[in-house]
Amino acid sequence: MIRKDTSNLNAMSPGGFIKETVKSGGQSDAAHESHVDAAPSVHIDAAQKALLNRKGNMLFNDGNFEGARRVFITTGYSDGLSRIGDYYRKQGRVIDALQMYRIAYNKKKADEITMNLALLIKSMLSEADPLSQGAVYGK
């Protein structure tokens, strides 16, 4: 039986991710700040990627969905990103789910959400248009 060494899975710090703070127009107002998670600028070899994906799966299974999302974005693990999208969708975070599906190249699920959003917008526009409801102007 081959036993893989997973002792360093728990030793990996969340600091293995780069967190940038971007301020609009150089302003220091916190309302204009946005945080961007970026992948490390170093190459991740196959062994490191597998290790990170296992860590991401552990985080996901433990309910740490944001930690898992960061790992899956870093490694580009499309199955994990799709699972995060599924979680977001169940939570009602449809736009976040769409973003995860697009990053994961999950066209089927992304297109489903996009179609539903398009139908919603179409419905809202037709309700707002008095001509579509039979209103007559000038009387």
Domain ranges for the chain? 43-129
- Please state which CATH number belongs to domain 43-129: 1.25.40
Which pLDDT band holds residue 43 (cuts at 50, 70, 90)?
confident
Q: Could you report how far apart the first and last alpha carbons of the chain are, in Å?
A: 86
Whats the size of the chain, residue-wise? 139
Q: How confident is the model at residue 44 (pLDDT cuts 50, 70, 90)?
A: confident
Give residue-wise pLDDT tens across range 100-138: 999 999 999 999 999 999 999 999 998 876 665 555 545
pLDDT at residue 24, rounded to an integer = 40
Residue carrying structure tokens 């992304």: 110
Residues linked to residue 20 through DSSP beta bridges, in sequence order: 36
Does the structure show a pLDDT above 70 at 12? Answer: no
Q: What is the pLDDT of residues 17-29, one digit of tens each?
A: 433 333 444 433 3
| Global pTM value | 0.64
